[in-house]
Amino acid sequence: MSQSSADTRPRAAASAVRMKRAGRDAPLSPHLSIWRWTPVNTTSILHRATGIANAAGATLLAAWLACGAIGEGAYDVATAILGSPIGLLILFAFTLSVIYHMTNGIRHLIWDSGHMIGKAGRGTSAYAVYGIALVLTILVWIAAFTLAGA
Amino acid sequence: MASKATNHFVMQRLTAMIQVPLVIWLIIAVVGHARDTHAEFLAWVSSPLTAILLVVLILSISYHLRLGLGEVVDDYVHEKKRLKTGQTLVSLYALAVGAVALFSVIAITLIA
């Protein structure tokens, strides 16, 4: 009896402090400098980075559609910018970012279904995601340039 | 959907699953329409199938990016007031992107 009450008292006090803190500020996630980089945890960090990039890229999609809606002049300016070397570079990076996020997102959905959770599945699927994302992106751009030549 | 967190989890996955086929379609379609003239672009966007797929994709994307960016803000913004401001900015960004894209598709279907 006395032992159990001695155990709970400090724990209760600590949790009260934690609750008080939680009421003020939200807890922080460790920053990038904390992690040791491995192929597996890099998929996770890249998932977030590409997610942010895709969210920014959504502006590109909205702007493209808006220029099309505004009129021929705006549309021609948009396609000229996107077709310039810098525009093509941004579009290539955006393609890679979207395809990576989608491929790794499918990996997350597979995990959510309870599959491939073991250490081996984690590692193999990490390399699979890198490979598939890169190959698909290159295929998309080969298709784009082939159509341009035709 | 018991809690806010459960709702977040379910909606993030639901929008992700909607986007997988739609994003594949969009990439292929954009490759095919990259060199469209303005008239060809209008005809493509205003065709019923394109328009409806774009509308679904835009709604899904703006919701998904709000959840995702919101998570980033949650993880890295410590102070409560700033956290609230951050979440509001994320919501406004998602709303702006979604509204502009959605309105553009509707406008194109009406003018084309």
**For residues A99 and A136, is the Cβ–Cβ distance under 8 A?**
yes
Rounded average pLDDT over B62-80: 94
Q: Which residues in chain B touch residue A61, judged by CB atoms under 8 angstroms apart?
A: 61, 101
**Interface pTM (ipTM) of the complex?**
0.94
pLDDT score at A123: 86
- Which residues of A are less than 8 Å from B70 in CB distance? none
Q: Which of B13, B54, B69 sits opposite A52 (nearest CB)?
A: B69
- pLDDT, average across residues B80-96: 96
Strand partners of residue A96: none
The CATH number of the domain covering residues in A38-149: 1.20.1300.10
Closest chain B CA to residue A60: B97
Average pLDDT of span B55-69? 98
Query: By the 8 A CB rule, do A125 and A119 touch?
Result: no
Across the range B66-72, mean pLDDT stands at 96
Q: Which segments in chain A show pLDDT lower than 50? A: 1-9
Q: What is the pLDDT of residue A4?
A: 43
Of B62, B77, B104, the CB nearest to A66: B104
Mean pLDDT score across all residues of chain B: 95
Note whether A75 contacts B38, CB cutoff 8 Å: yes
Which residues of chain B lie closer than 8 angstroms to A146, CB-CB? none
* pLDDT at residue number A16: 56
Most B-contacting residue of A31, A65, A98, A142 (CB-CB within 10 A), to test interface = A65
Q: What is the pLDDT of residue B30?
A: 96
The domain B4-111 is placed in CATH, from the list 1.10.1040.10, 1.20.1300.10, 1.10.20.60, 1.20.1740.10, at 1.20.1300.10
A124-128, long-range: CB within 8 Å, 24+ apart, which pairs?
Answer: A126/A39, A126/A40, A126/A42, A126/A43, A127/A39
When CB atoms are compared, the residue of B34, B74, B100 closest to A26 is B74
Question: Are the beta carbons of A58 and B83 separated by less than 8 Å?
Answer: no
User: CA of B28: how far to CAs of A21, A53, A109, A135, B73, in Å?
Assistant: 50, 20, 23, 15, 33
pLDDT in the model for residue A19: 55
**Which CA distances in Å does A149 have to A98, A143, A146, B35?**
25, 10, 5, 11
The predicted model gives B19-46 an average pLDDT of 96
Higher pLDDT, B50 or A121: B50
d(CA B46, CA B43): 5
What is the residue extent of each domain of chain B? 4-111
Q: Does B93 touch chain A (CB under 8 A)?
A: yes
